[in-house]
Amino acid sequence: MPSPVRKAVIPAAGLGTRFLPFSKAVPKEMLPVIDRPVIQYIITEAVEAGIEDILIITSRHKKVMEDHFDRHAELEAVLLAKGKAEEAEEIRALGELADIHFVRQGEALGLGHAIGTARNHVGNEPFVVLLGDDVMMEPVLKGMIDSYAEHESSVVALMEVPEQEISSYGCAAAEPVGGSLVKVTDLVEKPAVEVAPSNLAIMGRYLFTPSIFDEIDNTKPGVGGEIQITDAMLSLLTSEPLYGYTFSKGRYDMGMKSDYLRAVVDFGLEREDLAPAFREILVEAVKREGLL
């Protein structure tokens, strides 16, 4: 029996340079989508996939994330005194979503380096990584954990992107296995369009065996001078199989302003309490702008 996947790592220590000026003082992982910060959607996704223990990789100026998942006894008491029991319970439950821990990455040296800081906490068991700025509406993580139960190998989420966009992503060459699964044969970080081996892009969900930590330790800075997780994965490929879990929709890169707007629209339309009024706002805007 493969060991169960219990732990998740959420790297959230980056500088967020694509979301300035907002991200100067407030982490982009705290951007609100309606009434919850991005990181809350991500933690909820992990918990729904069966994760019990979460390590958030953070940095200075990002303490607000810790506060969000802490108890706030004073606020709970005020809500209860006002007869707002449901709201009080919602606030209290945030502190109990999972066993949440924090570790700091002193310097943003890259995603591979950030994941490496989780080594002591993760220990010798398989774990998942959810990027702190990538929100998924589809149960991709759950599918990846199911794949691990069958193959006992690392898995990465992959999505086809338009050819000219592949140079913004880690790129995978792969062979079909069956269903959503493929077997990864090669990896390259941010390839030029002319040399990209495919248009399959790595999207912010990973499941790793603990061997990835030795590979990270041996990885030198790559593209952009950062320690790239794609390079560590390429090295892992020489000793262990790596699967890809393919999916085609429901992913939002919250580090990108246009994707953030798309998320607000899609999530707003999903909210029963807000959708009727929100639909009217959208229809009015479409008419006013002559969009149809």
Q: Is 117 in the site for ligand UTP (CB under 6 A)?
A: no
Q: How far apart, in whole angstroms, are the C-alpha atoms of residue 92 and residue 100?
A: 14
Beta-carbon contacts of 263 under 8 Å, excluding residues fewer than 6 positions away, are: 33, 135, 252, 254
Token match 């248009």: residue?
A: 199
Cβ proximity to ligand UTP: between 104 and 287 the closer is 104
Q: Minimal distance in Å, beta carbon 55 to ligand UTP?
A: 12
Question: In degrees, to the nearest 5, what angle opens at C-alpha 142 toward C-alphas 139 and 145?
Answer: 155
Q: Is 57 in the site for ligand UTP (CB under 6 A)?
A: yes
Q: Is 64 in the site for ligand UTP (CB under 6 A)?
A: no
Q: How far apart, in whole angstroms, are the C-alpha atoms of residue 271 and residue 275?
A: 5
Q: Minimal distance in Å, beta carbon 275 to ligand UTP?
A: 29
Q: Minimal distance in Å, beta carbon 114 to ligand UTP?
A: 4
Cβ proximity to ligand UTP: between 181 and 201 the closer is 201
- Per-residue x/- marks for ligand UTP, 253-272, CB under 6 A? --x-----------------
42, 114, 172, 200: which one binds ligand UTP (CB under 6 A): 114
Cβ proximity to ligand UTP: between 169 and 278 the closer is 169
37, 126, 132, 222: which one binds ligand UTP (CB under 6 A): 132
Q: Minimal distance in Å, beta carbon 255 to ligand UTP?
A: 4
26, 109, 137, 161: which one binds ligand UTP (CB under 6 A): 109
Q: Is 170 in the site for ligand UTP (CB under 6 A)?
A: no
Cβ proximity to ligand UTP: between 5 and 135 the closer is 135
Cβ proximity to ligand UTP: between 80 and 109 the closer is 109
The region of 9-17, 46-54, 67-75, 171-179 touching ligand UTP under the rule CB under 6 A is: 9-17
Cβ proximity to ligand UTP: between 15 and 26 the closer is 15
Cβ neighbours, 10 Å, residue 272: 6
Q: Is 133 in the site for ligand UTP (CB under 6 A)?
A: yes
Q: Is 17 in the site for ligand UTP (CB under 6 A)?
A: yes
Cβ proximity to ligand UTP: between 166 and 181 the closer is 166
Residues 18-37 that bind ligand UTP (CB under 6 A): 18-19
Short-list 234, 244, 243, CA closest to 112: 234
Residues that bind ligand UTP (CB under 6 A): 11-19, 57, 105, 108-111, 113-114, 131-133, 255
